[in-house]
Structure 1
Amino acid sequence: MDVARHWRVVRTETPFEGKKTSVRTDDVVMPDGSVVRRDYQTHPGSVAVLALDERDQVLLLSQYRHPVRHKLWEIPAGLLDVPGENPLHAAQRELYEEAHVKAEDWRVLVDVYTSPGGCDEALRIFLARQVSDADGDRYAVTEEEADMEQARVPLSQLVRSVLAGELHNNCLSVGVLALSAALAGDGLDSLRPADAPWPARPFES
């Protein structure tokens, strides 16, 4: 089991501060007493939604990601824009805004740190079931989201594609493999409730 630790920081600075994320430099005391410098990206945290329909198909979105120069198939996801925001509410918002879909049954699928060697981003992936079209007008999309495509793909096909190296988005890969493991293990009803504590990003209920 992972264990929280906090090694002493003797100096910190923020050489770059962006709109949503920043870069921080910490001087950290090592166990042998030496001090080393660590640069990393600070991040508010993220949520993602693996929406599974009654035919065991997963809702996917295809979006251009400029840093990697790819259009990737992904599951709906977004930032925790408000400090202390309930991650379930954020996930429901992202599912509505990106896919115009709602769900009746929500569970926590998995919690991960996306790149702990260089970023403090914490990600919670939810499993959403009993999905249907949302009511009202679609959310207005702009920029990369204006070019998004949507598809529903069988879970078994996604597992094969992830293992074959054909899909690369971390939320999608972690989500479908975790769901496959849950189905092969104790079942989906054994997953944590949607309001399960999340020490990496504490929230208000």
Structure 2
Amino acid sequence: MIREEAESPAGGWSRLASTSVFTSPWFEVRRDDAVRPDGSGSPYDHVVSPGSVTVVAVDGQGLVAVTRQWIYVHDEVQWRLPAGRIDPADRDSLAAARRELAEETGISAETWRPLGAVNCADSFTNHRDHAFFATGLRHGAADLEPGEADLEVHALPFDEALALVTTGRMPHAGSSYAVLMTRTLGLA
């Protein structure tokens, strides 16, 4: 049994000041003057992100939409589920999930179920990836961005997608989390 410990809202930390060091359309780097739980102070640099979404889209035959593309920051081709950032124009994470699935794969879905969210790099960023399970799929045309020109869409049996996770060939945190939650919840 997991026991939740009561703690102060900020876990004993406090922020005295916060300064933007760098801002881009995708994230912001901030330097906070922080006081640790032991009372000592120090600067705390971190990345502020709008978050992202990942979608497990499963068709009537149990096939999962999986992408494969070059991931610039990891310098390799990776298997992933359809995923992307939450844009300022998105109403919420579900709206972002609907948009990303359609943009990357051309797929729209009738039924959506939230799978939860995973923190992607604690102590470095507040980045959180919101995962969704989608069914009742309809296929259309993808609308790829210039950086996605090499994106390939594959339809894999769910167990093959799960094997990509368990063998380390799908290292994207949001994708791994979404696939494992789908199996854990008995959705596929």
Give the TM-score normalised by structure 2. Answer: 0.88
Distance 1:153 1:139, change over 3 A: closer
Partner deviation per Cα, 1:39-72 (whole Å, 9 max, x = no partner): 1111011112110112222101112111110111
Q: Could you say which residue in structure 2 is the equivalent of 1:111?
A: 117
Residue 93 (structure 1) aligned with residue 96 (structure 2): no
Give 2:72's aligned amino acid.
H
Q: Could you say which residue in structure 2 is the equivalent of 1:34?
A: 40
1:173 to 149, 172, 176: 176
Q: Could you say which residue in structure 1 is the equivalent of 2:9?
A: 5
Structure 1 portions without partners, runs of 5+: 189-205
Structure 2 portions without partners, runs of 5+: none
Take 1:118 and 1:40, find their aligned partners in 2: how far apart are those partners?
5
2:159 to 133, 156, 180: 156
Give 1:160's aligned amino acid.
A
RMSD over aligned Cα, in angstroms? 2.1
Q: Could you say which residue in structure 2 is the equivalent of 1:74?
A: 80
Contact 1:64 1:144 in 2 (8 A): no
Q: Could you say which residue in structure 2 is the equivalent of 1:143?
A: 146
How much has 1:167 moved relative to structure 2? Answer: 2.1
Give 1:91's aligned amino acid.
A
Contact 2:78 2:169 in 1 (8 A): no
Give the TM-score normalised by structure 1. Answer: 0.81
